[in-house]
A and B are shown apart, each in its own frame.
Chain A
């Protein structure tokens, strides 16, 4: 059974750093495209970052230069390193597996990141 479980969220002050993890089971992150999507409280979905085969990475303009997506194939885990956090980064962060034509077929339960002074 395919499962994604995020962890690492929390409360921190502006300017801080945090690393989110997404542990996968039932498939291998090494040969799948993986994505992070976030959702601010009461708002819609925002695509954040993706990592493809060959470790090609992509970022939304709003996080470029501050966030880094990576994966550890030996742990079958996806990561999102978030630096220089801002209040507008407050959101539930979901990891998801890319399926056919860029759609996202499996999602984790989400982890809440709150950036506040």
Chain B
């Protein structure tokens, strides 16, 4: 199985901040990397697919980059509704493993 490691595990930030979350794959996964946002008690929501493609309806302040083993999710200017947990997921080979999550909290 491909191991996915996110950093940091938690992050405190303020509205308006620029925030970056990193995801590292245990082997090269090309650009088969997806990002999700999950709020408490809710299902995950797809933000970014194929490393850098913005899902329809997702605000443009979210962006993704990377290829191979190293990927980033950036929020250019945090909004109050962005405080949540974020997960990366590789879809290069089954099982499509997730990272452990990054909890983004208000400072």
Please report A residues at the B interface, Cβ cutoff 8 Å. Answer: 35, 37, 44-47, 50, 58-61, 94, 99-105, 107-110
B43–A47 touching, CB < 8 Å: no
With A101-B91, A108-B43 as contacts: A44 and B49 at CB distance below 8 Å: no
Residue among A101, A107, A108 with max Cβ neighbours from chain B (10 Å): A101
How many contacting A-B pairs (Cβ < 8 A)?
Answer: 68
B96–A99 touching, CB < 8 Å: no
Q: Which of B10-18, B19-27, B70-78, B98-106 contacts A (4 or more CB under 8 A)?
A: B98-106
A99–B95 touching, CB < 8 Å: no
Query: B83 contacts the other chain (Cβ, under 8 Å)?
Result: no
Contacts of A105 in B (CB 8 A): 46, 49, 55
Tell me how far the C-beta of B56 lies from the nearest C-beta in chain A, rounded to whole angstroms.
Answer: 9
